[in-house]
Amino acid sequence: MVVPSPVPLRSKKYRAAVGVPVIDLSLERSKLCESITKACEEFGFFQVENHGISSDIISRVEMEGHDFFSKPACHKQRAGPPSPFGYGCKNIGFNGDKGDLEYLLMEANPHSISERSKSISTDPTKFSCAVNDYTEAVRKLACELLEMVAEGLWVPDKYIFSDLIKDVNSDSCFRINHYPPSLNDHADNNNHWIHNNSNNNNNHSTTKSTRIGFGEHSDPQILTILRSNNVGGLQILSRDGLWIPIPPDSDKFCVFVGDAFQAMTNGRFVSVRHRAMANSVKPRTSMMYFAAPPLNACITPIPQLVSIENPCMYRPFTWGEFKTTAYALRLADHRLDLFKKQHIV
């Protein structure tokens, strides 16, 4: 989500087995609760298969996105500029962040989607029905995952997280990103492991050229559910500073822990930093559902994860306060650090 650095990225000289979790949701529930909780702790990220969302629901919204991004620029611009919702191209947010992409960003509620669709599609009813069906399906998936996490943490109220998403005033949103194909002769280096060297100004190693579609960031919400077509580009940052390419698989959904979830779990889960490269000779499309609480919801560590040994890391704040802070910062900033209690080091 940031302006690409002019410093070339350092290539790692070896590859290793990553072990990024892929979780089969058809497995027995107690095993699922344990596996999902472990994935949130160790990676802040996992993929799910056998998720139960029909191919028809997915393909309908995917086709709507394809139809929109295939339009001439003058037609697409009628749905923008994003403020923050609407159509955007290159510019991400309000603070100078850029990427090689275009996108649609919408509030994930039926009324807002219905209104927004009038400037997006020549058949607003068809567009809004497709998007609403999809967002409702992934919302249910997000809630089910959050309930299994609560069970995995042995929290008495398993709905403590999911009720925030089910709330009629939930601030969740939906985004479709479109990354145009690269014209580079050496495109598609998604299989390479790359060191994160954003602070290194003395790197003289040579690499294939890289094209940032959406730069390094974490998501501020509770949970993100992402689906992309079978084109590579997504990378997550490991705790040892290694960029890990996630193999594309349109049959799976990717799940990201967000900043708000990190705060609610008192740092037991860490919001994963990730980015999207745009080096493929094929266009890449990704769809994200950002599961967020209502603006007035209080974000604070749940009592079961606070103790003398693990004191509260973050001061209480509302989602609205945190969202305002996120919009005021560069998207690569570690925004949650601003909400840490001063005595925590």
By annotation, the residues acting in catalysis are: 284
| CA-to-CA separations, 97 to 3, 89, 94, 178, 198, in angstroms, rounded | 5, 11, 7, 17, 15
Which strand (E) or helix (H) includes residue 194?
Answer: strand 194-195
- Residue 186's Cβ-count burial label (10 Å; 0-12, 13-18, 19+) is exposed
The CA distance from 332 to 274, in Å, is 10
| CA-to-CA separations, 329 to 96, 300, 314, 324, 326, in angstroms, rounded | 10, 21, 19, 9, 5
First-to-last alpha carbon distance for the chain, in angstroms, is 28
Instruction: Work out the angle between the directed axes of helices 124-152 and 55-69 (0-180°, nearest 10).
Output: 130
| DSSP state letters, 284-331 | EEEEEEEE---TT-EE---GGG--SSS---B--EEHHHHHHHHHHS-T
The CA distance from 252 to 249, in Å, is 6
Which alpha helices (DSSP H) does 221-299 contain, by range?
259-264
Please name which of 344, 260, 256 lies closest in space to residue 306, comparing C-alpha atoms: 344
The CA distance from 263 to 80, in Å, is 33
Residue 304: both structure tokens together: 């079961």
Instruction: Work out the angle between the directed axes of helices 124-152 and 29-42 (0-180°, nearest 10).
Output: 90
Beta pairing partners, 256: 45, 224
